[in-house]
């Protein structure tokens, strides 16, 4: 006769251990992903060094990750911060380029053009009137 397992046959401690192991595996894969991304992000490493780190992490994953975090852990955070800073600067530049400039910015530029003598006072007044319409 085949035994049938019901949900209440699974002890609470067993469920806790199962959830903990799943959590640890997810953490492991996140750490592995971050390290692999960091290897490719580092412009200071040569291609051979990147290949060496990847081979070490693939062949001996736990030892490779441990050695990488010990040897290059501090510079990992620096590279990630630089990447975030570069992404933010690119996004800000994109926003500035697509949003255009305000009327006050355009009037300020017109005033500077008039002060430098690039446009005449009459041209300044026409452009100003056109902007303020």
Mean pLDDT of 67-77: 91
What's the confidence (pLDDT) of residue 96?
Answer: 78
What's the confidence (pLDDT) of residue 1?
Answer: 65
CA distance linking residue 6 with residue 131, whole number of Å = 77
Residue 95 lies in a domain: no
Residue 87 lies in a domain: no
Do 18 and 60 reside in the same domain of the chain? yes
Whole domain around residue 106: which residue ranges?
A: 101-133
CA distance linking residue 46 with residue 108, whole number of Å = 48
What's the confidence (pLDDT) of residue 26?
Answer: 97
CA distance linking residue 128 with residue 126, whole number of Å = 5
> What is the tens place of the pLDDT at every residue in 79-93?
999 999 999 999 988
Structural domains of the chain, count: 2
């Amino acid at each position: 006769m085949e035994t049938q397992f019901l949900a209440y046959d699974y002890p609470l401690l067993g469920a806790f251990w199962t959830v903990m192991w799943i959590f640890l595996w997810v953490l492991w894969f996140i750490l592995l992903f971050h390290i692999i991304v960091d290897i490719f992000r580092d412009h200071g490493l040569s291609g051979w060094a990147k290949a060496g780190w990847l081979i070490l992490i693939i062949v001996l994953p736990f030892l490779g990750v441990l050695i990488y975090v010990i040897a290059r852990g501090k510079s990992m955070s620096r590279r990630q911060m630089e990447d975030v800073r570069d992404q933010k600067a690119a996004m800000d530049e994109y926003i500035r380029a697509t949003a255009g400039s305000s009327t006050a910015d355009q009037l300020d530029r017109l005033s500077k053009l008039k002060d430098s003598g690039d446009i005449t006072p009459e041209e300044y007044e026409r452009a100003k009137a056109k902007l303020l319409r």
